[in-house]
Amino acid sequence: MIQVDLSNPTLEFLENDPDIAAKFGQADSISYLMNSIADFLHVGSNLITMPLMFLFNLLVTWLIVYCVYYRFGRRRDYYVTFMLFSSGMFLLLWLMQILDIQTGFVLGLFAIFGMIRYRTETVPIREMNYMFIVIAVSVINSLSLKADDLPWYHLVFANALIIALAWGFEAWQARKRTSTKIILYEKIENIKPENRAALIADLEERTGLKVLDVEIGHIDFLRDVAYIKVTYPLEKGKVVNSIDQITKFK
């Protein structure tokens, strides 16, 4: 019969029961303690790294939205949308990594694009491109939290490359950027091919724009009007004029 000293039960069990000694021995206890400390430090490291990476992703998104998108387009209606979308996507992917959700990641991306097209108002192609860039940046920065062996300068280079490409293509495109206006024109006699010069001169005088090209659309002889698409150069440094897509107020 095993005599147990209630004043020190742990040592008595360790001495008389080899299974318990192997499970709760001093060496295993130290190993368990070290592993617990390592796990705690790892969690603490993530709690420090995640906010820093979140701020880094927010900074990169701001540079893309403000220094590239807004600088060349001068549109504020999607400014806040891009910033919030990037932050939400970053946090969503970060939580998916913690919960180890793989199928949800794929379905989530499809759901996001589905919601973009769900509304009756169509998102312009330029805004769709920037939405994809914002998503790509958020995915890159969020997934980097799980890659412990990824050098920080690789991540910085990838983000800087995206910003540089977006700014470079926008600057190159803004040099000779054109837009089009839909005009309801009433001088029906000027739509004839032989009166093209008179049509362009009349449009330039009345609109104040440098007309590069004119296309004749729908013609209504009952009201003596026709829809005309006028191509003109945009202001320097501007790449889009969103109101050109509106023919009239609803």
pLDDT in tens, the chain (250 residues): 444 444 544 444 444 445 544 544 554 555 555 555 545 444 444 567 788 889 999 999 999 999 998 888 777 778 888 999 899 888 878 877 766 655 455 556 656 666 655 555 567 778 888 988 998 899 888 888 776 667 888 889 999 999 999 999 888 877 777 788 889 999 989 999 899 999 999 999 998 888 989 999 999 988 989 999 998 887 765 556 666 655 554 4
Closest CA to 10 of 24, 30, 31, 27: 24
Per-residue model confidence (pLDDT) at position 102: 57
Rounded CA separation 245/241 (Å): 8
At 12 the pLDDT is 47
Closest-CA residue to 174 (of 250, 240, 104): 240
How far apart (Å, rounded) are the C-alpha atoms in residues 165 and 179?
A: 23
CB burial of 45-80 (b: ≥16 within 10 Å; e: otherwise) equals eeeeebeebbebbbebbebbbeebbebbbeeeebee
CA 58 to chain centre: 10
Residues sharing a CB contact under 8 Å with residue 14, sequence separation 6 or more, in sequence order: 20, 21, 24, 25
Q: What is the pLDDT of residue 92?
A: 79
Q: How far is CA 170 from CA 73, 79, 155, 237, in A?
A: 9, 17, 23, 9
For residue 231, give both structure tokens.
């191509």
pLDDT value for 158: 92
Q: How far is the C-alpha of 248 from the C-alpha of 177, rounded, in Å?
A: 24
pTM for this predicted structure? 0.60
Angle at CA 44, nearest 5°, toward 40 and 46? 120
Per the structure block, which two tokens stand in for 30? 């130290």
SS3 185: strand
